[in-house]
Chain A
Amino acid sequence: MIYIDSHDMAGWWTLVIALQVVFITTYYLWSKKRTRSHVLRSNEKPIEWNPKPLVEYDVEVEEPLIMGTLNENVLNFGSTSFLSLDKNETIIDSALKAMEKYGVGSCGPRGFYGTIDVHLELEERLAKFLEVEETCVYSYGFSTIASAIPSYAKRKDIVFVDECVWFAIQKGLDASRSKICYFKHNDMNDLERQLLEASEKKELNSRRRAFLIVEAIYLNTGKMCPLVRAVELARKFKLRIILDESLSIGVLGKHGRGITEYLNIPRDEIDLIVGSLEHSFATIGGFCAGTHFIVEHQRLSGLGYCFSASLPPMLTQAAISALDILEEKPSIIEELNDRSKMMNKALAKLDHYRYSGDEISPIKHVYLKDDLTDRLKHSYLRNIAAYCFEKGVAFAVSAYLRDVEHNCPEPSIRLVASRKIDNENLNLICTLLETAYKEVGPKPDLQPVQ
């Protein structure tokens, strides 16, 4: 028997060690018992094992349009290079110089000699540009938001998301396993209603982390988020905001700092800003921006940051040069905004199509007005895009995984307004779309399919 004398330290330590031994032995024996139950006990009927093949049947894949070289005379209205920096000579020259110095690949993740001085420079420059404390750069746009969300939102947390967020955010939410509440697209009243309900049911309480995830400009609809009201609601119900500014950095605001500059919201109201280098900066990659407190955490627990090779130095230098141009000549942003507004005016004149997209958003979606199934609409739009491609204009038919997406949008052509288009181009698009509709679009005597 062990006499427990409260003044006898040795007695306490012995008790602690003894308890540890007991617990560890119990756990060990219990886990052994569990694995034993997996052991084969079927010595009765023989096992009829007919495994399903990994790929059950052949699939027909739509052949994508094959893009040519930069010099070919094709007007590109599908690539999201809003500021037309993808053909910029200065950027290409500086990137190739970086390639001569550093090679192509960085040959390691950020933790193991993959942190090159250009990465640190890009992070500092982005932090200064966006007027935040710190940024961290990822090597792929999709993985940025898909890794950022699960590093903060865990199984027991609750997340309020707009129902039209793009696929990468949906995958980030999948990985986080939190409770997800979708609210109607851009409908702040619906969000408020859901928040009130949740706080009444005590699902929102001070011990449970809650997040609000919205996009500044939605990729799937082209509309802008009513962020002022969203921030109010977030402060009232104590939600942390993760804002996906992939499409709005370099597009909104006088200097291109994004929707917070455009709507005059103080930047520290947003907990985490996630941006992409794949749109306005015309390279590959993504970044997360915020305070030291928030962004430091990603350097240790953002999966796409820690376990992936860092962004190739050539592409990092291209981003730095693009940032240089953006800071030097902020007038290009105004040019882009003008073009977006012009495009809206042009699209309003279309007969057989309707469109969606705010005036200032460079992304517009063009839908067929006919009442058909989604599959038929999609194939007609592809025919229309193929017809226009032959005539020298490239359109992107939005690609969706219909059975995996939550709230899959209607099939559409995603038009991108870039800085260099003019009225002539816009007239060309409109006439081409109308001609294509007449040639390869749905015929007027087509019965609407039930």
Chain B
Amino acid sequence: MAAKKNGFVDIGDGDSLKTTKKSYEQDEKLINGKIKDRKNGYMKSTQSNGSTPKMTQVEGGGLPKIDWSKYDTFPGSFEKCSLLTAVLTHVGLYVLMFLGFVNQLIFKPKAATEKNREGYAPLYDPFEQFFSRYVYRRVRHCFNRPICSAPGAEVVLKEWESTDHNWTFKFTGVERRCVNLGSYNYLGFAGGEGAEGGCARAVADAVRRYGMAQGSSRAELGTTPLHLELERAVADFLGVEDAIVFGMGFATNTLSIPGLIGPGTLVLSDENNHASLILGLRLSRATVRVFRHNDVRHAEELARAALAERRWANVLLVVEGVYSMEGSVAALEGLVALKQALGLHLYVDEAHSVGALGSTGRGALQRCRVLAAHVDVLMGTFTKSFGAAGGYIAGPRRLVQWLRAHGHAHGYAHSMSCGVAAQVLAAVRALDAAPGRARVRALAQNTAYFRRRLRELGVVTFGHDDSPVVPMLVYTFSKMAATVERLTRAGVATVGVGFPATPLNMARIRFCLSASHTREQLDRCLLAVEQVADELGLRYSRRRPLAEPRPS
């Protein structure tokens, strides 16, 4: 690690970062969209080293250069499809929309209409309605599928059928048990007593002691000793000073980010960030610029341009640990180097990676060999790897206290249910014991095996080799729906995603692996995938398969 430190320069000690009250309000207005790059006296320098600014020409504004060859900046494997595939996908979508247009002209849709509101402005946008009725409706049976069991390694689907082309559904009464490759159950904590989980007794105890819910926010009467214990446990697990927990993962981002940053901050956000991050950033009124997915060089370019504008109070990089639609892991090593070289802040959302990556389940930070002290804000959720609900933000004590004072959830949103908190506590404690470590190892082995076998099959998978989220590209909407149907019939429950969650021509099937999947279950799934790949023609990969199988 010492060698890496030569690559970047410390921007200064704590003194120079402490700023006096500056007039950040004297924001220069953009004139016709052009950015003035000469600003006199905008920032008062409080550097204690007393160096006078050089008057000669300085390349790059005097900011240190970064040698990217020293860091792992691999953004993940994103194999491009052939031009023919891209063209055919687009043509397919246009045909679909044309048919939908004709359908709309000729037949009356079976959709609900508004009553008693004549003369009112229409509630919905016509294109949205068209898309939802004539494109999304065709594949609607693949989404919102009800289950009637715990979402463990296997799940019981309630089958439904539609006799009127997906306008309405009826349950057939058949319940099908499938291998569950769709739920976020990375460490296998989902499931009731006797199943893979073992935390049920702790949950029952907590509910009988404290009740189902406190009925109040944390700042009022919603804090119990259990919440404090949970926060302590989460902070210890991640190796930071303090943590704060929230009742909902989505709300963690949307209610905390506005309390942390404001209009003077520039945010560099990854292209594929989650909707909760995007909403939180919008609510905070900070300016957001988007960099290409996992592309640290593009982030560097944007950061340098921003610093040259000389009008931002600070710059925040917002990334996720594991991206749930791409299956890639953030290039944290490179991002931390960038942050330290240019003096930026870093916010990492480990919703999918905490518990799932790293040798002891500490998340993307452990996997990328980055210290928690180098990340400003560590956020995560308990829904995926801990089989519960809710989220947390962890970091220095100062940050957590700030969020308690200025975050929106502390005073207004009800505190986490004690039963759910007990589940998280039990799961966090289990991860530090031998059976928990075994789960983390099992997940890593399952991931490596599954990804290797898919590569050998010849399908295109995205992301890094150790990420437990495995997207398999099928490109067209229709193939996505057909694959999901056939896999379900073969006893494998997976998730199909298309536009608008993914780009237009990159619909995909997403597999979420779990530590509780056995080798036999995975083999069954792979056999089903191979059959469907042959039937539907999913072997898009143009890479040569590996010469000999690596030891798993």
Number of A residues, CB within 8 Å of B: 119
Q: Does A442 contact B (CB under 8 A)?
A: no
Q: Does B337 contact A (CB under 8 A)?
A: no
Q: Contact between B224 and A67 (Cβ–Cβ < 8 Å)?
A: yes
Evaluate whether A70 and B115 lie within 8 angstroms (CB atoms) in the complex, with A64-B218, A113-B147, A397-B220 already known: no
- Minimum Cβ distance to chain B for residue A347 (Å): 19
Of residues 45 through 63 on chain B, the ones whose CB sits less than 8 Å from some CB of chain A are 45-47, 53-55, 57-63
Number of B residues, CB within 8 Å of A: 152
**Which of A23-31, A139-147, A178-186, A327-335 has 4 or more CB atoms under 8 Å from chain B?**
A139-147
Q: Contact between A175 and B409 (Cβ–Cβ < 8 Å)?
A: no
Q: Does B377 contact A (CB under 8 A)?
A: yes
Q: Contact between B345 and A54 (Cβ–Cβ < 8 Å)?
A: yes
- Minimum Cβ distance to chain B for residue A232 (Å): 15
Q: Does B330 contact A (CB under 8 A)?
A: no
Q: Which residues of B contact A62 (CB under 8 A)?
A: 219
Most buried by B among A86, A102, A303: A102
Closest residue on chain B to residue A39 by CB atoms: B305
- Minimum Cβ distance to chain B for residue A52 (Å): 4
| B interface footprint on A22-44 (CB within 8 Å = 1, 0 otherwise) | 00000000000000011111111
Q: Which residues of B contact A106 (CB under 8 A)?
A: 151, 389
Of residues 157 through 202 on chain B, the ones whose CB sits less than 8 Å from some CB of chain A are 158, 180, 182-185, 189-193, 195, 197, 199-200
- Minimum Cβ distance to chain B for residue A390 (Å): 15
Q: Which residues of B contact A96 (CB under 8 A)?
A: 203-204, 207
- At the interface, is chain B mostly helix, strand, loop or mixed? loop
Number of A-B contacts (CB under 8 A): 388
Q: Contact between B37 and A116 (Cβ–Cβ < 8 Å)?
A: no
Q: Which residues of B contact A61 (CB under 8 A)?
A: 401, 404-405
Q: Which residues of A contact B316 (CB under 8 A)?
A: 54
Q: Does B366 contact A (CB under 8 A)?
A: no
Q: Which residues of A contact B382 (CB under 8 A)?
A: 105
| B interface footprint on A297-319 (CB within 8 Å = 1, 0 otherwise) | 10111011011110110110010
- Minimum Cβ distance to chain B for residue A75 (Å): 12
Q: Contact between B145 and A100 (Cβ–Cβ < 8 Å)?
A: no
| A interface footprint on B131-173 (CB within 8 Å = 1, 0 otherwise) | 0100010000001111111111001001000000000000000
Q: Does B85 contact A (CB under 8 A)?
A: no
| Residue from B182, B274, B410 within 8 A of A113 (CB atoms) | B182
Closest residue on chain A to residue B404 by CB atoms: A61
| Residue from A110, A303, A399 within 8 A of B220 (CB atoms) | A399
- Minimum Cβ distance to chain A for residue B211 (Å): 5
- Minimum Cβ distance to chain B for residue A379 (Å): 14
Distance in angstroms between the alpha carbons of A318 and B275 in the assembled complex: 29
Most buried by A among B220, B313, B404, B495: B220
Distance in angstroms between the alpha carbons of A184 and B392 in the assembled complex: 38
Q: Contact between A401 and B406 (Cβ–Cβ < 8 Å)?
A: yes
Distance in angstroms between the alpha carbons of A51 and B264 in the assembled complex: 11
Q: Which residues of B contact A141 (CB under 8 A)?
A: 413-414
| Residue from B124, B276, B387, B419 within 8 A of A308 (CB atoms) | B276
- Minimum Cβ distance to chain B for residue A329 (Å): 19
| B interface footprint on A108-123 (CB within 8 Å = 1, 0 otherwise) | 1011111111011000
| A interface footprint on B255-285 (CB within 8 Å = 1, 0 otherwise) | 1000011001000000000111001001100
Q: Does A341 contact B (CB under 8 A)?
A: no
Distance in angstroms between the alpha carbons of A103 and B383 in the assembled complex: 12
Q: Does A13 contact B (CB under 8 A)?
A: no
| Residue from A46, A113, A400 within 8 A of B495 (CB atoms) | A113
Closest residue on chain B to residue A238 by CB atoms: B120
Evaluate whether A120 and B310 lie within 8 angstroms (CB atoms) in the complex, with A54-B345, A206-B121 already known: no
Q: Contact between B345 and A238 (Cβ–Cβ < 8 Å)?
A: no
Q: Contact between B61 and A47 (Cβ–Cβ < 8 Å)?
A: yes
Q: Does A354 contact B (CB under 8 A)?
A: no
Q: Contact between B62 and A47 (Cβ–Cβ < 8 Å)?
A: yes
Q: Which residues of A contact B251 (CB under 8 A)?
A: 140, 142-143, 304
Distance in angstroms between the alpha carbons of A174 and B255 in the assembled complex: 12
Q: Which residues of B contact A383 (CB under 8 A)?
A: none
Q: Does A359 contact B (CB under 8 A)?
A: no
| Residue from B228, B254, B383 within 8 A of A107 (CB atoms) | B383
Q: Does A66 contact B (CB under 8 A)?
A: yes
Distance in angstroms between the alpha carbons of A41 and B310 in the assembled complex: 12
Distance in angstroms between the alpha carbons of A69 and B214 in the assembled complex: 10
Q: Contact between B216 and A240 (Cβ–Cβ < 8 Å)?
A: no
Closest residue on chain B to residue A150 by CB atoms: B279
Distance in angstroms between the alpha carbons of A55 and B18 in the assembled complex: 10
| Residue from B63, B144, B264 within 8 A of A49 (CB atoms) | B63
Q: Does B363 contact A (CB under 8 A)?
A: no
Distance in angstroms between the alpha carbons of A108 and B160 in the assembled complex: 20
**Which of A221-229, A277-285, A433-441 has 4 or more CB atoms under 8 Å from chain B?**
A277-285
Q: Which residues of A contact B147 (CB under 8 A)?
A: 113, 115-117
Distance in angstroms between the alpha carbons of A400 and B405 in the assembled complex: 10
**Which of A163-171, A193-201, A367-375, A422-430 has 4 or more CB atoms under 8 Å from chain B?**
A163-171
Q: Does B388 contact A (CB under 8 A)?
A: yes
**Which of A2-10, A87-95, A124-132, A253-261 has 4 or more CB atoms under 8 Å from chain B?**
A87-95
Q: Contact between A52 and B216 (Cβ–Cβ < 8 Å)?
A: no
- Minimum Cβ distance to chain B for residue A280 (Å): 10
Q: Does B215 contact A (CB under 8 A)?
A: yes
Q: Which residues of A contact B200 (CB under 8 A)?
A: 99-100
| Residue from B143, B182, B261 within 8 A of A54 (CB atoms) | B261
Distance in angstroms between the alpha carbons of A12 and B18 in the assembled complex: 66
Q: Contact between A95 and B212 (Cβ–Cβ < 8 Å)?
A: yes
Q: Contact between A39 and B207 (Cβ–Cβ < 8 Å)?
A: no
**Which of B73-81, B242-250, B456-464 has 4 or more CB atoms under 8 Å from chain A?**
B242-250
- Minimum Cβ distance to chain B for residue A147 (Å): 9
Q: Contact between B183 and A50 (Cβ–Cβ < 8 Å)?
A: no
Evaluate whether A44 and B38 lie within 8 angstroms (CB atoms) in the complex, with A54-B316, A208-B121 already known: yes
Q: Does B417 contact A (CB under 8 A)?
A: yes
Q: Contact between A79 and B283 (Cβ–Cβ < 8 Å)?
A: no
Evaluate whether A103 and B224 lie within 8 angstroms (CB atoms) in the complex, with A39-B305, A399-B219 already known: no
Closest residue on chain B to residue A104 by CB atoms: B423
Most buried by B among A62, A68, A143: A143
Closest residue on chain B to residue A210 by CB atoms: B121
Evaluate whether A291 and B115 lie within 8 angstroms (CB atoms) in the complex, with A61-B401, A81-B215, A238-B120 already known: yes
Closest residue on chain B to residue A97 by CB atoms: B192
Q: Which residues of A contact B35 (CB under 8 A)?
A: 37-38
Distance in angstroms between the alpha carbons of A141 and B123 in the assembled complex: 24
Q: Contact between A140 and B248 (Cβ–Cβ < 8 Å)?
A: yes
Distance in angstroms between the alpha carbons of A293 and B255 in the assembled complex: 29
Distance in angstroms between the alpha carbons of A406 and B341 in the assembled complex: 40
Q: Does B376 contact A (CB under 8 A)?
A: yes
Evaluate whether A401 and B408 lie within 8 angstroms (CB atoms) in the complex, with A40-B308, A104-B420 already known: yes
Q: Does A17 contact B (CB under 8 A)?
A: no
Q: Contact between B313 and A303 (Cβ–Cβ < 8 Å)?
A: no
Of residues 316 through 350 on chain B, the ones whose CB sits less than 8 Å from some CB of chain A are 316, 342-345
| B interface footprint on A388-416 (CB within 8 Å = 1, 0 otherwise) | 00000010111111001000000000100
* Supplied contacts A67-B221, A104-B197, A171-B283, 13 more A-B pairs, CB within 8 Å: A37-B34, A55-B399, A78-B216, A105-B383, A106-B389, A117-B158, A140-B247, A167-B412, A175-B283, A282-B213, A293-B113, A300-B136, A399-B220
A selection of 24 A-B contacts at a CB cut-off of 8 Å is A38-B301, A40-B304, A41-B37, A44-B38, A49-B63, A59-B404, A64-B222, A66-B225, A66-B228, A81-B215, A87-B211, A92-B207, A99-B204, A101-B149, A103-B152, A104-B423, A105-B389, A117-B147, A140-B414, A205-B121, A278-B213, A297-B124, A309-B383, A394-B221
Residues of A within 8 A of B (CB): 37-56, 58-62, 64-70, 76, 78-81, 86-87, 91-92, 95-96, 99-108, 110-117, 119-120, 139-143, 146, 152, 166-168, 171, 174-175, 205-210, 238, 240, 268, 278-279, 282-284, 291-294, 296-297, 299-301, 303-304, 306-309, 311-312, 314-315, 318, 394, 396-401, 404, 414
Minimum-distance CB pairs A-B, first 6: A46-B62, A399-B411, A79-B215, A47-B61, A308-B250, A399-B219
